[in-house]
Structure 1
Amino acid sequence: MADINAYAARESGGTLAPFTYDPGPIGAEEVEIRITACGLCHSDISMINNDWRASQYPLVPGHEVVGEIAEVGSSVTHLKVGQMVGVGWTSHSCQHCSPCLSGRQQRCETGTSTIAGRGGFADRIRVQHIWAVPLPDGLDAQSAGPLFCGGITVFAPFLDFDLKPTDRVGIIGIGGLGHLAVQFANAWGCEVTAFTSSMDKEAELKELGAHRIVNSRDEAAIKAERGYFDYILTTVNVSLPWALYMRALRSEGKLITVGVVPEPMAIPANALIGGQRMVAGSDTGPPEMVATMLEFCVRHDIKPMIETFPMSDCNEAIERLESGKARYRIVLENS
C-alpha cells in the first residue's frame, strides 16, 4: 500500500509541514479511508502544543474525519469500499475491557485516540472498523466532520443524563460546541438559554434555537437566574463564577462540563449539599451513539456553521481558529 501523505507538527507548538509515513499492512479489523474533509478542533491545537503533556511527535492532528472507504481488512464485512464514513476522537478500542463490553467503547482502558494513531490532516487514515460510522443520507461531508467530535461531545449528555423535553437547559459558551448544543437542546424540546459574552450574537442565537439569552459577563444577570435550570452545560475552557451557576440550578439540577478548564473548579460544598445539586463531566460517545446523533441531525436539519480551507492551508486555518474569529467550526478539504 502507498504511503500516507499528511501534515504534521514535529515539535511542541510547531507549524505543520508535509509528512509522509508508511501505514504498513492493513489490519484484519481495520479500514482505510480516503479523506474528503476533516474538521479543525481546539483539541487539535492543544495536542500540537502538548498542553495535556501526552503528545508524541511527529504529530498529525485531526479527529473529525469524513471520507470514502478505500480498503477493508479481511475481517470487516459490514463496511464496503466506496462507502462514506466518519471518524471522531477514538480510532481503536480493545473490545474486551469493562467499558467496551458495556457499550462505552470511548472509555476503553487501552483505547487509541485518532490523533495518537496519526490523525486526519492527511489524504488517508486507518482506523478500527467500529469507529468508521456510516454517514446517513442527507448529510454532506463538510457538515458531518465537526459532528464527530464537537457534535457528539454536546449530544452525549442528552442521553447519558436523561434530559427531558420539559427541562430548562442553559448553555454556557456559544462557540464551536455551544452553537451545536443550542440546536440539539431546541430540537430535544427543551427551553434553551444561551449564556454568551458576545451579545452581538443575540439574533443569530435565536435563529439557532435559543429562547433566552443571558450576558455571561454580567454577574447580576446570572444571579437573577437563581433556581431556574434543570441542567447547565458548560462548553468553555476558562474559569467562571461557578458558585453563581450552581445557584442558578433547581433542586437536584446538574452542571455538566465538556470544556477542559485548566484550573480547579471552585465550587463550595454548600452549593452541592443544598438541594443535592451535582457537577459532572462528559466525554464523547460510542459508535452507536454517534450513529444516533447523525440520524437526529438529519431529522432536525442540524448542521454546524462552518468555514472551509484547503488542507494545504492548515496553518492558516489554525491561525483563524486561535484568533477567535471562526464562526463556528473550521473544516479542511482535500482537493
Structure 2
Amino acid sequence: MITAYAATTTGGTFEPISFDPGPLASHDVEIAVQHCGICHSDLSMWQNEWGMSRYPLVPGHEVVGTVSALGAQVTHLKIGQAVGLGWQAGYCMTCSTCMGGDHNLCDQAQGTIIGRHGGFADKVRAQAASVIALPEGLDMASAGPLLCAGITVFNPLVQFDIKPTDKVAVIGIGGLGHLALQFVRAWGCEVTAFSSSQSKAQEARDLGAHHVIDSRDPKALKAVAGQFDLILSTVNVKLDWNSYIGALKPKGRLHLVGATLEPLQLNVFPMLMKQRSVSASPVGSPQVMADMLAFAAQHGIRAQTEHFAFEQVNEAMARVESGHARYRVVLSRD
C-alpha cells in the first residue's frame, strides 16, 4: 500500500489516502520519497488551471528519495540508491523523438501528476528511464527543485548552444529565476537580472547577476537595447514583450520557460530586421537532467528552500500560493 495526501476537489484540502498500486511493472521503479518540492505547476494542477486535473489528485513532481523496489527488467539502478523524479514519469521509448534523445518532447510522455499519483506520498512509481540517479555531493534535501525548476532553466543553455562569452538576461527572480542566475553564471556568461522588486537586487547579485535592472522602468529597458544574446523569461505574467525583443542582439532569442497563459503581442518587424526569435521549452530529457545534476553538484548550485513536514502539506501549499516563499517549498521527512 501507498499512503499519500490528496485533494478530492478543485483547490480542496489535502487529506490522507491509501491505495494499492498493484504489481510493479517490469520497467518501473518504486521510490521511497524523502523530499518533494512544491512547484507552481502543482498549484496549477490542484486548482485545475489547465483543465487536465483528475481527482483525487496527489501532486508532487520534484521527488527525491531512494529506490525501494525495481521492476524485473531494470538493471541500471539498485535498491537504496539515491534518485530523483521530475515532471515526466515515462516515455514511449520508440518514437523518433525518443530515439533521437528528446524524450521530454515525446507525444506519449506521461506526466508524473497527470492521470497518476505523484510525490506527496511515502512512495511513488515511475518508468525507470525517467528516474535519475543523484550524483555524489548533491544535497538531497534541496535537490528536488532542480528536477523541475532546475532542468527547465538549464535545458535552453544546452539546446541553443549558449556560449560562455554570451550575454544572458533572466526575467524574474523567483523559483525558476533564482536557479537560472546560478546556472548562467556558472556557465560563464555575463548575467543580467530583470526584476520588478528592487528589494531583491542584492540577492540577485549574490545569486550570480553582474547587473540588475528594474523591469518597471521603461528607460532602463531602452538603455539596454541590442545587448543580449539570450533573454530567459521565468515569469507567468503578461509583460511588454516588444521591449525585451528590442533588448536582443541581432540573432538574439527571447525564450519563455514561465507558463504565460495570455497570448503574446509581438511586433514582427523588429524581429524580422534583426533575425531575432521567440521560443519556449518544457523540461529536459533524462540525459540532460543527469548532466544538469552533475553540473549543479560540480558548481555548488542549489535551490533556496523552506521545509515543511509532509503532514503540513496544506500549510506548505498555502505558502507557495502566497508568493512569499524564498524561493522553493519542500516537503521533507526526518
Q: TM-score, normalised by structure 1?
A: 0.98
Structure 2: how far apart are the matches of 1:271 and 1:162? 23
User: Equivalent of 1:60, from 52, 58, 61?
Assistant: 58
Residue 6 of structure 1 corresponds to: 4
Q: Aligned partner of 1:9: which letter? A: A
* C-alpha displacement of 1:78: 1.1
What is the DSSP-based 3-state SS (H/G/I as helix, E as strand, rest coil) of the residue aligned with 1:17?
A: strand
Query: Is the counterpart of residue 90 in structure 1 residue 106 in structure 2?
Result: no
Give the 5 Å matches for 1:16-95. 16-95=14-93
- Segments of structure 1 that go 5 or more residues without pairing to the other structure are none
* C-alpha displacement of 1:106: 1.2
Residue 290 of structure 1 corresponds to: 289
- Segments of structure 2 that go 5 or more residues without pairing to the other structure are none
Give deviations 1:61-114, integer Å, cap 9, x for gaps: 000000010010100111110001000000011100121111111111112100
What is the DSSP-based 3-state SS (H/G/I as helix, E as strand, rest coil) of the residue aligned with 1:65?
A: strand
Structure 1: how far apart are the matches of 2:80 and 2:157? 33
Residue 236 of structure 2 corresponds to: 237
Give deviations 1:39-66, integer Å, cap 9, x for gaps: 0000000001110111111110000000
Residue 111 of structure 2 corresponds to: 113
Give deviations 1:208-241, integer Å, cap 9, x for gaps: 1100000011121111111111100000000000
* C-alpha displacement of 1:271: 2.3
Structure 2: how far apart are the matches of 1:13 and 1:322? 11
Query: Contact between 1:69 and 1:80, CA under 8 Å: does it hold in 2?
Result: yes
Query: Is the counterpart of residue 317 in structure 1 residue 316 in structure 2?
Result: yes
Q: Aligned partner of 2:284: which letter? A: G
Structure 2: how far apart are the matches of 1:318 and 1:160? 32
Query: Is the counterpart of residue 274 in structure 1 residue 273 in structure 2?
Result: yes
Structure 1: how far apart are the matches of 2:330 and 2:299? 22
What is the DSSP-based 3-state SS (H/G/I as helix, E as strand, rest coil) of the residue aligned with 1:118?
A: coil
Give deviations 1:113-168, integer Å, cap 9, x for gaps: 00022100000001101111011111121111100000000000000011000100
Residue 103 of structure 1 corresponds to: 101
What is the DSSP-based 3-state SS (H/G/I as helix, E as strand, rest coil) of the residue aligned with 2:279?
A: strand
Residue 189 of structure 1 corresponds to: 188
Query: Mean alpha-carbon deviation: is it higher for 195-204 or for 36-45?
Result: 195-204
Structure 2: how far apart are the matches of 1:129 and 1:198? 41
Structure 1: how far apart are the matches of 2:147 and 2:176? 11
Structure 2: how far apart are the matches of 1:177 and 1:319? 19
Query: Is the counterpart of residue 166 in structure 1 residue 165 in structure 2?
Result: yes
Query: Contact between 1:33 and 1:124, CA under 8 Å: does it hold in 2?
Result: yes
Structure 1: how far apart are the matches of 2:151 and 2:117? 21
Structure 2: how far apart are the matches of 1:320 and 1:274? 45
Give the 5 Å matches for 1:214-253. 214-253=213-252
Structure 2: how far apart are the matches of 1:47 and 1:237? 15
Q: Aligned partner of 2:91: which letter? A: S
What is the DSSP-based 3-state SS (H/G/I as helix, E as strand, rest coil) of the residue aligned with 2:76?
A: coil
Structure 2: how far apart are the matches of 1:309 and 1:280? 35
Give deviations 1:234-279, integer Å, cap 9, x for gaps: 0000000001000000101000000111110111111211201000
Query: Is the counterpart of residue 123 in structure 1 residue 87 in structure 2?
Result: no
Which runs of 4 or more aligned residues in structure 1 lie more than 6 Å from their structure 2 counterparts after TM superposition? none
Give deviations 1:164-218, integer Å, cap 9, x for gaps: 0010001000000000000011000100000001111111111111000000111
Query: Mean alpha-carbon deviation: is it higher for 156-165 or for 318-327?
Result: 318-327
Residue 139 of structure 1 corresponds to: 138
Structure 1: how far apart are the matches of 2:107 and 2:184? 31
Q: Aligned partner of 1:233: which letter? A: L
* C-alpha displacement of 1:334: 2.4
Q: TM-score, normalised by structure 2?
A: 0.98
* C-alpha displacement of 1:282: 1.2
What is the DSSP-based 3-state SS (H/G/I as helix, E as strand, rest coil) of the residue aligned with 2:17?
A: strand
Residue 299 of structure 1 corresponds to: 298
Q: Aligned partner of 2:83: which letter? A: V
What is the DSSP-based 3-state SS (H/G/I as helix, E as strand, rest coil) of the residue aligned with 1:55?
A: coil
What is the DSSP-based 3-state SS (H/G/I as helix, E as strand, rest coil) of the residue aligned with 2:54?
A: coil
Aligned-residue CA RMSD (Å): 0.8
Aligned residue pairs, count: 333
What is the DSSP-based 3-state SS (H/G/I as helix, E as strand, rest coil) of the residue aligned with 2:186?
A: helix
Query: Contact between 1:123 and 1:334, CA under 8 Å: does it hold in 2?
Result: no
